[in-house]
Amino acid sequence: TQLLEQSPQFLSIQEGENLTVYCNSSSVFSSLQWYRQEPGEGPVLLVTVVTGGEVKKLKRLTFQFGDARKDSSLHITAAQPGDTGLYLCAGAVYSTLTFGKGTMLLVSP
Amino acid sequence: DTAVSQTPKYLVTQMGNDKSIKCEQNLGHDTMYWYKQDSKKFLKIMFSYNNKELIINETVPNRFSPKSPDKAHLNLHINSLELGDSAVYFCASSQDFGGGNEKLFFGSGTQLSVL
């Protein structure tokens, strides 16, 4: 059973489009993290959301934590080729940081 | 300066061989980890050490043996390599162990291919 479900698994869009990726669970999390992994590199932490309903912005990226702290979304405005990568959400499961399977985003010029 | 560095970047070897991957962090963090990322990009924790002490040991074959000579280093030794061990192995560190809420800093990975 995958505790953190991410959707879609793969997303291919044109530069300038907007997109949203989702991270869902039946469990309540004290916090959720979002990482981005570029090809050939390790994941890099983008943001941590802690409070239910919290919204955090990082330039063109907007992260939201669900009110019940069971889900989160990442919205990218006007995507650019530099946004290409694997987006991973992660949360504490049995005191271990556990990752979802990720959303692979490809932004074409 | 690279914060978390692991070597080698690529490792190609035959089944049955023994190999090691080294990891060092210069962030002054207390906790280090090994994660395995499979061909479907699923990232799964293997081990965690806090101040040189093993704190997490997931269901990993005992052919995998981590060693932490000091809190800045966490090496991974693998005996009798099998085809299924082929994956990308990531070292990571965090300021301390946060019970799953820690913020991780990852190395750039070691791509292991077992032939």
Residue B83 has phi, psi (to 5 degrees) of -55, -40
A81 contacts A109 by C-beta, under 8 angstroms: yes
> How confident is the prediction for chain B on average, in pLDDT?
93
Domain count, chain B: 1
- Residue A58 domain boundaries: 5-108
Contacts of B62 (CB under 8 A, 6+ apart): none
Buried-state track B25-45, b at ≥16 Cβ within 10 A, e below 16 = beeebbbbbbbbbeeebebeb
For the record, the structure tokens of B110 come out as 């070691």
Identify the domain containing residue B92 by its residue range: 4-114
**Residue A1, pLDDT above cutoff 70:** no
CATH of the domain at A99: 2.60.40.10
- Report how far residue A4's alpha carbon sits from residue B52's, in angstroms, rounded to the nearest whole number: 30
> Residue A14 pLDDT more than 70?
yes
Domain count, chain A: 1
- Give me the mean pLDDT over the A52-81 stretch: 96
CB contact under 8 A, B105 and A30: no
CATH number at residue B47: 2.60.40.10
DSSP class of residue B102 equals P
- CA B51/CA B29 separation, integer angstroms: 9
Chain B, 43 to 72: residues with Cβ < 8 Å from chain A are 43-45, 48, 56, 58
Cα of A17 to nearest chain B Cα, Å = 25
Where b means 16+ CB within 10 Å and e means fewer, A72-81 reads bbbbbeebee
Closest A-chain CA to B91? A42
Question: What's the pLDDT tens digit per position in B73-104?
Answer: 999 999 999 999 999 999 999 998 888 888 99
pLDDT tens-digit readout, B16-50: 999 999 999 999 999 999 999 999 999 999 999 99
On the question of pLDDT at A2 being above 70, the answer is no
Q: Mutate which of B6, B43, B90, B105 to test chain A, going by most A C-beta atoms within 10 A?
A: B43
Query: How high is the pLDDT of residue B58?
Result: 82
